[in-house]
Chains A and B, each alone.
Chain A
Amino acid sequence: MSWPMVRKAVRDLRWTTFWYAFGMALFIFLMTSFYPTLECQQEQFVELLQQYPEFLFRIFGIDPTQAALFATFAGFMHAETFGFIWPVTGLLFVVLSGAAVVAQEIERGTADLWLSVPIPRVHLLVSKQVALLSGILVFVLTSEVALAAGAFVFGGDITARGLVQLAVALTCFLIAFGGLATLASSLASERSKAAGIVGGLALLMYLLWVLAGLAEEARWLRYFSLFTVYDPQAAMLGELPWHKPVIQLLVGLAAAVAAQIAFARRDIVA
């Protein structure tokens, strides 16, 4: 790893990280402010939910058999934020930022000077991956702080254990896709291509996961989706099965290492 490169990459990413993190934190805090209203009308709300078709729950990342949990703080925040809006925003952040690590340097023509320094290519890329990881951590921790603050102010019920497990679940989810984005970037010469590949992959995984939940015959499809192991609701309740973040972490690390190997071996054509 090269510290000057890490510093530059963190600096390059700082405003992107800030706006994504700040925007999401604001959204989370706003959502927590609606929870007291829901809490007062819990029974009617659960009744109403049960009228909805199953696929609507599935699309927004909610297990319909656990619709009753919607009335809890964890269930509410999952349905309103962490089941759909948060992963979509987080994916936008990591996919666009991760897709830039190599492909954007080539696309903008700065790769020549970037690679002219006496640092192995692997170290240059690891430095950018570390910067992306720091961006992910800031994004996740800001969301956590907003959630904890909202819970405190508006009477939401979440434990320290729930917060820690949520941080792990969210971080590992973004690491998985961040690793894949850096891999695509290491193979591509245009940022849009790299982002398109990983964005398309994420969308495909999401569809597979929704389909797997809708029909018994399609349940096997869940093994091909990283959304199967994304479980923020269980995390907020302090019941996160540990194999889920571990799988995401392993996918992310494997993709990051593959990116380093690919980058070290590829030609940089002007």
Chain B
Amino acid sequence: MANYPAIAVERLTRSYGARRGVIDLTFQVQPGEIFGFLGPNGAGKTTTIRVLMGFLRPTSGSARIFGLDCWGDATQVKERVGYVPGDVRLWENMTGERFLDFMAAFRARIDPKRRQMLLERFRVELDRPIKQLSRGNRQKLALVQALLHDPPLLILDEPTSGLDPLMKHEFLAFLVEERERGKTIFLSSHELAEVERVADRVGIIREGRLVAALPIEELRRRRTRPMEVVFAQPIDPRQFADLPGVRVLAVENSGTRFQLGVQDNLPALLRRLSELPVIDLTYAPPDLESVFLAYYQPEHARVGEEDLS
């Protein structure tokens, strides 16, 4: 197992008849890393995960986990995987306790101490029927069942959806601890900030194709954070032309409202703004769209020029 990549996807294509699924994906995830799988809704993240879990057969290409074929050796693959689906649906008539007991019954051994630790850490409601639980509590149950048997690989499809901010924070911290214990984590998400916090590398998927697979530092370097600046009077966009790493994305309200893309060089930009009649400023966290902008810069530059004209 140690000699193989945790996940090896090779020229994977999966189509649904005429509909696109994923096209010619190739990437690897090494043991002991957190791999963020980023893409907007409908990009093909869930299709990729369904192939990895052996729910879908590849149209062409291959998907392997620890050297095992995800379709042909699906049972052995699942022994090594903890999985959280993107849209968590549980058996509603069970209580949380019965659900966890049921899922644990398929595993060779469950450490009661680990179970207790997970229940305490994620504050899972066990006594009530699942149909009475909130979305967040159902999500926590799904997370705990995936972690219960301490698998070497976690495949998590939007695992923090429905969690409150505190629990989201706790869960991401837990993922980092799991990585330190040598676990591999495949984390699918459309939230860039979340992936940035924990991932070692990211794969970016768009319209079924892998746009990039790169270390997180590289992603941080390339992604753009959006800044909106409102001025008291119209400003000439050329004021920002000499600042490397800063681009004017759009100018609105007769030159008083600017949308800027800030890749780096924030100190120089702040110095420049301090010389201008700024009345309001919003500096948003990085989002996925800004990453795509970085990868489609020529296209984007044209849009920017049109906006400016």
Contact = CB atoms under 8 A, between A and B. Distances in A.
Contact of A267 (B55, B89, B93, B105): B55
B79 A268 contact: no
B106 A119 contact: yes
A157 interface: no
B53 A115 contact: yes
A117 B86 CA distance: 16
A118 B55 contact: no
B72 to A, nearest CB: 11
A158 B27 CA distance: 71
A112 B76 contact: no
Given A270-B46, A270-B50, A117 B103 contact: yes
B89 A119 contact: no
Contacts of B50: 268-270
B56 A268 contact: yes
Nearest to A268: B55
B145 interface: yes
Interface in B52-73: 53-57
B91 A110 contact: yes
A8 interface: yes
A4 B105 contact: yes
A118 B89 contact: no
Given A4-B105, A4-B106, A118 B75 contact: yes
A230 B133 CA distance: 47
B90 A269 contact: no
B56 A113 contact: no
Contact of B85 (A108, A112, A117): A112
Contacts of B217: none
Interface in B73-96: 74-76, 78-79, 81, 83, 85-87, 89-91, 93
Interface string A100-137: 00000000111111011111110000000000000000
A120 B85 contact: no
B89 A117 contact: no
B106 A110 contact: no
Interface in A253-270: 267-270
Contact of A113 (B74, B93, B105, B142): B142
B68 to A, nearest CB: 12
Interface of B: 16, 46, 50, 53-57, 74-76, 78-79, 81, 83, 85-87, 89-91, 93, 102-103, 105-107, 142, 145
Closest 5 CB pairs of A and B: A109-B89, A4-B105, A112-B85, A117-B106, A118-B78
Given A116-B78, A117-B106, A118-B78, 6 more contacts: A109-B85, A110-B89, A113-B83, A113-B142, A116-B85, A270-B86
